[in-house]
Chain A
Amino acid sequence: MIPIEYFLVLSAILFGIGLIGVLSRRSAILILMSVELMLAAVSINFIAFASYLDSDAFTGLIFALFVITVAAAEVGLALGIVLRLFKERRTANVDEASLMRW
């Protein structure tokens, strides 16, 4: 069987790459995509711990399921906001939208 460290190291690297994307990207939608990477890394951690530490192996799965649901809701809502931002300001660049109102 695969040692749990493999999964945890993979998830740590994936989370770090997602963090780099969130910090370095300028387009709002690309920031959203990097957040998805970080959420996937967290889900891997949840399921690895559920499978290795919990003989019931159930609570971690529920957490991961809820992470997926919340991520889907977040993407829908954030895309609505980005679309509205683009219609009003003609840009999806977060640097140009740092002021919410002027």
Chain B
Amino acid sequence: MFDRLPLPSQFDRVIITGGIVVGLIGVPFGIAMVTLVVLGIITAPEMVFFVAALVILLGAVGCVLLPNIVHAALSLTATLIGVAAVYLLLLSEFLALVQVLVYGGGVVLLLLFGLMMTNAHEDPIVTDGSQKPIALLLGSLLIGTFIALLISAQWGDPVAQIVPFDVFGERLFREFTVPIIVVAVLLDVAITGALINVQAQEESPPEEVLE
């Protein structure tokens, strides 16, 4: 069974190729960034932002385009950790920690378990009626519209400061009590639903035998 799993082997060709590509893109990019900072053209936070943006976008493209599912999941992890770095740049430490814990840990692990239990090696190759051209067209249209609208709008300067952890928790549980309870009920219902969903089909074969 294990040789059928889509796990990357030790000398996986795609991982080596991906590492070389990332190195070829990342090293000149990093050198250019450091040079720009030293020359005083961009500030240090901007450099961190550009590096995080590169990681996020490369990971997202890999997550969408890579044929092997485990490689796509690893790219998704890179993207989500880059998003955590962007949260840090936006002065919300708590959400950065939650992002790494919940997404980088829990969600990706859950997705990998799902991939292995459904034994889906590759994204099935579709020979007729592929949706990729339409998807690319719609996606680029959406991105273009958003960027055109964003650039033409006027935005102010940052006004916020860091919310410390203790203030965050206090205000969360004092001012948002009802939403917290609603979310707790939602999580409860989701867990119960998932359990019932998986148990239902385990109980069904004995019933057929009894009939």
Contact = CB atoms under 8 A, between A and B. Distances in A.
A73 interface: yes
Contact of B135 (A12, A20, A53): A20
Contacts, number: 243
Give the interface size class of chain B. 35 or more
Contacts of B200: 84
B114 A68 contact: no
A17 B60 contact: yes
B209 to A, nearest CB: 17
Tell me what chain B mostly uses at the interface: helix, strand, loop, or mixed. helix
B175 to A, nearest CB: 8
B110 A79 contact: yes
Given A12-B143, A62-B179, A66-B183, A24 B131 contact: yes
A70 B56 CA distance: 22
Given A37-B60, A84-B197, A51 B91 contact: yes
Q: Which of A32, A37, A70 has the most CB of B within 10 A?
A: A37
Nearest to A14: B60
A47 B146 CA distance: 18
Contact of B157 (A24, A52, A81, A86): A52
A44 to B, nearest CB: 6
A58 B169 CA distance: 11
Given A19-B135, A23-B138, A34-B63, A53 B86 contact: no
Contact of A10 (B56, B140, B176): B56
Contacts of B157: 1, 52
A95 to B, nearest CB: 7
A81 B147 CA distance: 36
A95 B87 contact: no
Contact of A19 (B56, B118, B138): B138
B123 A26 contact: yes
Interface string B76-96: 100110010011011110110
B46 to A, nearest CB: 6
A69 B158 contact: no
Nearest to A38: B60
Contacts of A56: 160
10 contacts: A5-B155, A6-B49, A12-B150, A18-B64, A33-B73, A37-B64, A54-B160, A84-B200, A86-B119, A95-B126
Given A19-B138, A43-B95, A92-B120, 17 more contacts: A12-B142, A14-B79, A33-B76, A36-B107, A50-B90, A52-B156, A52-B158, A52-B160, A55-B160, A57-B159, A57-B160, A61-B163, A62-B172, A69-B183, A76-B110, A79-B111, A86-B117
